[in-house]
Chain A
């Protein structure tokens, strides 16, 4: 297999360079197009910036309004009479007594008997008697 030397490589790249130059675009043209693009981008940039600012204001306003609404829902309804709560938020003072311990009622009986079963039963019987 034959290998090429550095000088030969240089020569080949030089030929490539010459051939590339034949298709080289004019500097003025490329620069003018770049300048036009720059002007277009500069023109559209402020518009985009304003759109972004307006969008962020709308989003921020939406978040603030939503939070305020949530806070209103949490607050108790006022009756207009100082010290008297509204009927919707009123609770009976004995409401706590009506709460049945549902977990205790629904729980299955213990599978293993306790050593205290007999003691508690006789004590209860004697009280009933």
Chain B
């Protein structure tokens, strides 16, 4: 694929990419922006190559996911080292970067809180299916798990999320 064509395709997918980057970064906007930039860098520099085995969206989502995981791990190590040096215990905030109390709706905050209560795999598959409207097969491809495993995560995650949201509203 030509560089210009690739950039055009990326532009069309940008909103989706942004939503996926947010989901992969625990909804931390600053981190998500950095991850998106790093993922685009990998793509335009040719470090990540699209070989046409899947759809471009699936492939780009896979690149974003891997970049986010690397970045989150790097930050975790960095924060731990810094915390060790000043002996400050920094507990991670699950809703970090979301600013839910100030600017976002209550419903959104509840959904994010409920999603944070799920396992990573369940969160990922639900985000892909409900937010990005992918099929479970595509989600499995992006998450690099088998279809059966993705389906299990989806079923369990959906039930758990519905339960959490239902109980939060009663």
- Using a CB–CB distance below 8 Å, which chain A residues touch chain B? 1-6, 9-10, 12-13, 15-17, 19-21, 23-25, 27, 30-31, 33-35, 37-38, 41-42
- A25 in contact with B163 given A12-B111, A13-B131, A38-B41 (CB within 8 Å): no
A-B Cβ contacts below 8 A, count: 90
Give the residues in chain A near B24, CB-CB below 8 Å.
none
Tell me, in angstroms, the Cα distance from A5 to B158 when the chains sit together.
9
The contact of B105 among A6, A19, A41, by CB within 8 Å, is A19
Give the residues in chain A near B45, CB-CB below 8 Å.
38, 41-42
| CB–CB A17/B7 < 8 A | no
Q: Is the interface of A mostly helix, strand, loop or mixed?
A: helix
| CB–CB A34/B41 < 8 A | yes
Shortest distance between the CB of B155 and any CB in chain A (Å): 11
| CB–CB B18/A2 < 8 A | no
Q: Count chain B residues whose beta carbon lies closer than 8 angstroms to a beta carbon of A.
A: 37
Tell me, in angstroms, the Cα distance from A30 to B38 when the chains sit together.
9
Give the residues in chain B near A37, CB-CB below 8 Å.
37-38, 41
| CB–CB B162/A4 < 8 A | yes
| CB–CB A3/B166 < 8 A | yes
Check: B36 CB closer than 8 A to any chain A CB: yes
